[in-house]
């Protein structure tokens, strides 16, 4: 463990021990969001923080306190996110099981990729605590279907709770087939993003900037080399090592954005909501068929390689640019609506799942 990380972890433990005392140690019901043991900024982390915040606003429904915590995956912990604005305080799981001794009900939200780690690194250390809790609801936050654990892991999790469910972030894998694959109730939450949360600039106010995601992708380098060669007037900026507010400022002034990740992600959605023309490759795991109609969704990375430079040249005209952007924007705003997301979250805590 690096010296800086050790110091942050040590000082965070002190803050956690102090601030946990603001909660009633005898409370009956608790909701926990497990987060990675790292102060980082990703779409998944921001999403979990927002679901946490919006869950806390539904206390009249679930009658619980809502807390985020790091797992026992390693010795690291922290208290606040520093790379994006969030009031969510982070605790450590092995503090909660010592402090809350009289729980009857608990909901534990776990990111999909930490499910197996939760079984092997967390449950052994809190098993005695869990055994004293009458109602244990574990929910897998399925924000990326490619990171979902195998069915064997799901079956192991069932042994440690009275109810196991999953919530999904994308409509493409929110269906009865996926529900049956894992054999647990499933509910589509969608995402917290929606157009009204973003400022918009028109083409005339944009700069000659193309932002690209830093996702690992075998086609990425070849496409970026071609962009640099054929479009020398544009500044190509890789999104890496910046804070979230800097990302928001960048997508507001950039003319174009390219995601090399799952496709229907923050590198596509958020630039679109900021007036930027964003490009992606169609991925059946994340996009529904309707997205194929959008002009900046390519069928393959070969198609992106062959066409994106000419498309950018063609679209970099106020009339055409605003037309292309608006077509993407108008469709996206029918899918991503904050009021719908809030209703879906409320239904989750009412146990009114899409697929039971």
What per-residue confidence (pLDDT) applies to 74?
A: 61
What per-residue confidence (pLDDT) applies to 1?
A: 46
- Average pLDDT, whole number, for the chain? 94
pLDDT at 288 exceeding the cut of 60: yes
pLDDT in tens, 198-222: 999 999 999 999 999 999 999 999 9
> What value does the mean pLDDT take over residues 115-141?
95
What are the structural domains of the chain?
A: 8-194+337-349 (3.40.50), 195-335 (3.40.50.2000)
C-alpha closest to that of 206 among 307, 317, 294, 309: 317
Biggest alpha carbon–alpha carbon distance for the chain = 65
> What value does the mean pLDDT take over residues 71-98?
86
State pTM to two decimals.
0.92
- Confidence bin at 4 (pLDDT 50/70/90): low
What per-residue confidence (pLDDT) applies to 43?
A: 85
What per-residue confidence (pLDDT) applies to 98?
A: 92
CA distance 160 to 136: 8
Residue 218 CB-density burial (10 A; 0-12 exposed, 13-18 middle, 19+ buried)? exposed
What percent of the residues of the chain are helix, what percent strand, and what percent coil, each to the nearest 5? 50, 20, 35
Give buried/exposed letters for 259-279 (b at 16+ CB in 10 A, else e).
bbbbbbbbbbbbbbbbbbbbb
> What value does the mean pLDDT take over residues 50-62?
97
DSSP state of 233: T
Q: Which residue do the tokens 């601030």 mark?
A: 19
What per-residue confidence (pLDDT) applies to 3?
A: 60
DSSP state of 120: I
- Confidence bin at 159 (pLDDT 50/70/90): very high
Percent of the chain predicted with pLDDT > 90: 87
pLDDT at 341 exceeding the cut of 50: yes
């Amino acid at each position: 463990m690096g010296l800086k990380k050790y110091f942050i972890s040590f000082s965070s433990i002190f803050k956690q021990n102090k601030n946990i005392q603001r909660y009633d140690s005898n409370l009956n019901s608790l909701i926990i969001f497990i987060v990675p043991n790292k102060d980082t900024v990703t779409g998944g982390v921001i999403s979990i923080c927002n679901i946490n915040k919006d869950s806390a606003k539904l206390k009249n429904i679930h009658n619980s306190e809502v807390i985020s915590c790091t797992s026992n995956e390693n010795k690291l912990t922290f208290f606040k996110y520093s790379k994006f604005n969030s009031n969510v305080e982070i605790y450590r799981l092995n503090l909660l099981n010592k402090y809350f001794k009289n729980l009857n009900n608990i909901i534990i939200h776990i990111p999909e990729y930490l499910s197996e780690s939760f079984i092997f690194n967390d449950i052994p250390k809190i098993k005695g605590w869990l055994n004293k809790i009458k109602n244990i609801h574990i929910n897998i936050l399925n924000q990326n279907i490619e990171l979902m654990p195998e069915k064997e892991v799901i079956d192991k999790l069932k042994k440690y709770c009275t109810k196991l469910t999953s919530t999904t972030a994308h409509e493409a894998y929110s269906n009865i087939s996926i529900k049956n694959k894992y054999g647990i109730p499933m509910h589509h939450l969608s995402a917290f993003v929606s157009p009204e949360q973003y400022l918009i600039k028109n083409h005339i106010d944009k700069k000659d900037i193309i932002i690209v995601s830093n996702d690992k992708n075998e086609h990425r380098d070849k496409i970026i080399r071609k962009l640099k060669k054929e479009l020398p007037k544009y500044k190509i900026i890789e999104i890496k090592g910046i804070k979230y507010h800097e990302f928001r400022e960048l997508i507001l002034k950039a003319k174009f954005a390219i995601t090399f990740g799952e496709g229907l992600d923050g590198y596509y959605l958020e630039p679109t909501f900021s007036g930027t023309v964003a490009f992606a490759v169609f991925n059946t795991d994340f996009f529904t068929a309707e997205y194929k109609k959008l002009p900046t969704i390519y069928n393959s990375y070969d198609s992106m390689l062959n066409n994106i430079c000419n498309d950018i040249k063609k679209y970099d005209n106020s009339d055409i640019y605003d037309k292309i952007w608006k077509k993407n924007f108008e469709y996206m705003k029918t899918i991503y609506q904050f009021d719908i997301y809030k209703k879906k979250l409320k239904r989750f805590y009412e146990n009114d799942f899409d697929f039971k």
